[in-house]
């Protein structure tokens, strides 16, 4: 897909120094959507109201209501709540996906189930067939995971789009235009190589080098899949912004 001129800007909430928008920055720009990143972990203030045509909430080492350690989370939840009420497009990644689930009435538990690290096989569900972002994706896409917390119940009425063997709720949609994912479509194999080996060993995971090699093998196909999703999300935003 060719690049288009930028016509809209999404508000992006970042929760940690290593949790940026990554390759999604360029992919969104290819479809006319720029990113205004608020580095909340550095003390940057979030707006009281969402005035952007889209909201993207990134990952981080917190639970969605871990307000003592991350005092910007209440403001982030308020933005998600507003976006849902006003049907503003939302994309939540890892912590962001968990926050979307919790705000919409689902459940999230800390250190629940089997931790997932590195490139992981997922399963596209039948409900994805008519989803604006996930329709027509490979039946068993690969994506990079990095989590020990998990969504344990989807919000009422949510569309369950992607499952996984160790973590069932890998992707879902709330309403017409709010998506959450447990995995990291914005992350590349090179990022995995820089992960903390001590942390991984503490969870019984392989070394960063082993995880890197596996992710590198899967990266060509995964890049096509998640670039498609990024493009489709941008198209949803820019189409609504022009309406």
Catalytic residue ranges: 94, 184, 186
Separation of alpha carbons 96 and 98, rounded Å: 5
Q: What is the 3-state secondary structure (H, E, C) of 94-141?
A: CHHHHHHHHHCCCEEECCCCCCEEEEEEEEECHHHHHCCCCCCCCCCC
- CA-closest candidate to residue 169, choices 122, 137, 129: 122
d(C-alpha 42, C-alpha 69), whole Å: 13
Q: How far apart are CA 118 and CA 135, in angstroms?
A: 24
């Amino acid at each position: 897909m060719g690049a288009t001129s930028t016509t809209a800007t999404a508000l992006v909430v970042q929760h940690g120094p290593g949790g940026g928008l990554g390759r999604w920055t360029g992919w969104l720009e290819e479809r006319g959507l720029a990113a205004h990143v608020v580095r909340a972990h550095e003390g940057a203030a979030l707006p009281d109201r969402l005035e952007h045509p889209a909201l993207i909430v990134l990952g981080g080492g917190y639970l969605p209501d871990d307000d003592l350690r991350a005092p910007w989370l209440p403001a982030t939840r308020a933005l998600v709540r507003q976006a849902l009420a006003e049907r503003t497009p939302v994309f939540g990644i890892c912590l962001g996906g968990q926050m979307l689930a919790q705000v919409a009435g689902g459940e999230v538990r800390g250190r629940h189930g089997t931790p997932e690290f590195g490139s992981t096989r997922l399963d596209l569900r039948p409900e994805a067939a008519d989803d604006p972002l996930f329709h027509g994706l490979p039946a068993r896409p690969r994506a990079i995971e990095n989590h020990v917390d998990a969504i344990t119940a989807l919000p009422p009425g949510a569309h369950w789009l992607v499952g996984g063997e160790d973590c069932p709720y890998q992707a879902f949609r709330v309403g017409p235009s709010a998506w959450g994912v447990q995995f990291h479509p914005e992350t590349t194999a090179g990022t995995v190589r820089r992960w903390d080996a001590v942390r991984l060993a503490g969870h019984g995971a392989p070394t960063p080098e082993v995880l890197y090699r596996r992710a590198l093998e899967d990266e060509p196909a995964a890049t096509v899949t998640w670039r498609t999703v990024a493009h489709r999300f941008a198209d949803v935003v820019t189409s609504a912004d022009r309406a």
